[in-house]
Structure 1
């Protein structure tokens, strides 16, 4: 997912030199940070966000609300969709933030790689060190840092005392790294909870996850604010109602579509109200309707893919890739179906660390057909024939296709339906990034 740039060239060099993927430990990142002067100890007040689903959306809501309140905000997210620069958003004097400039990122990557002196390390660890370098060297009021994988041994988990910890909904994902039961995954995510640091826990569909997280918080003395107990949110008359101990807010619905985004927005609001810069009510309103987060129930309205589809079709993309995300996406599509009924076609590619049958099961009875496609931006993609078998096992009609474009052509040529179809391209952020890049939609 790189482009021809100075930074991409530096990172490509690292990818050729160091092992790909994750090697969960903090020893290497702490060693590198020490060689760089411990930039992780010189950050602005930081909101640290972990979880299985929704952590990127919570991060996006938090940034938008803080910026609407006039705060200068650094933001770290991962993975990126099209360009490496998406991982680093730096505050500017204007109060808005922008993706890091190419030359600045390239220099920081080069400096971190030099400080590492060729010692064993993962590329993600070097890129996380770059996060702390950039965030400590450029002024800001606050930073929002999203965890890469897990929590306890994630490279971002070296900050000794963030302002607030946030844990979004937890479900099965990355089982080979984090464990094959929700309580094991919750224990890993809960590793970001720090003594005395408030932890905001988003809605948990598995009671055991909430029990594990609150037990960790109690053990280390971290104040807990849990969704459904200490704060709530729901839709009423086309508005979002948020409530906590401070009172009730009557808010516009979030710009990001889906019921799950109401919960994500509420989690962000709770975290900000507990942090060092509680936003004004007006800033919360403005932030909710201005939040942008590419690749999450994003509609594609122009470009080559739209030109391929039957006139009047809808094309949506979402990077959700685990059973919990499948449920959230299916609920969003069901709400769309209540407003405008359209036949639904899934175009799905996944990587081999995911559990495809559980993801597909959420769409049983909804999707007219699934087309499974390769994920070209990684060597870990599941073969489309194998992925089609998983969709069939989940009760869906499915067939492999060579590409997203071929799947859209097949529907357009062979499924004469009225009204025009609704396509959802989903299952992997790699696939979503590939689609956005080929369709000329680079996140800004």
Structure 2
């Protein structure tokens, strides 16, 4: 039976312009886009609100936040997945790549954390297959280079899992995101309640771990991404040399470069740059790294990620619109650009034949107000 939704009196954000018109969703796809109003029976009046593609999130720590709502509290995975799914739907995100850590530390007396990736991925895939999730979920494996079990954990995955992204995450203190050891200490001690003595022990343990296993782990993660058929991403590139190495490894996306130098090098190498929307909303990096606004003003920002605040994704896009004065371009950083760089060619723009993933929103001052969200033509929020 044909399922049809007609939305009219809307400002429709197309790839290069905004038109006033109507949009028809039919059987999960966009069936028609036209200028002007619609007299179709049952047409929904959008009252001049915007319609844009559903947002696409490539890197979010939000699932982990639901898994561990308090330090040392482990929440049931399925409940965490459902809460995460509903929260994202409510912020206009219709496709998410759930970031799951691979690589654990099991021997440090300062901070141990165990494996969970295979179990979590299985639960997400089972819930997706059962049709209980509102939005489209894909797997993003965060390969922790400075860990003890990365190789064996990545061996548990294969092409059948359809891994979307593998990111190379090296959180060894003194470089990349944590060049400033003081910032690293504040982060670790604040998050985990670690003493000064405990921090010194943990820092030295990580140095030794990276020296012993870092090179082998990085090579194994790159090889695994190729075996899975996943998009390879770097993380926290700081220097042009690091970006050049990423390029040779086959990296297509740079998550959160920490300096202008690294962002410029990404641009030269044709690597798409992701910056955190919270960085843009707050006006700067909480780690003391380059401000997303600076890269946006220098035309070196390609994609936004909500990172640790789902609602920041749309808010960040509106800030980019203020900077660039171009709403379609701004929204492309959270729709068309991420879709293109991970090979999702069926979504990310409002175009006849594409998936019926879209969002209706208004603005309250400089803030987005999400009114309705559809995934494959079905309203989910």
Shorter-chain TM-score above 0.5:
no
* TM-score (structure 1 length as normaliser): 0.28
Q: Which of the two has greater strand per residue? A: 2
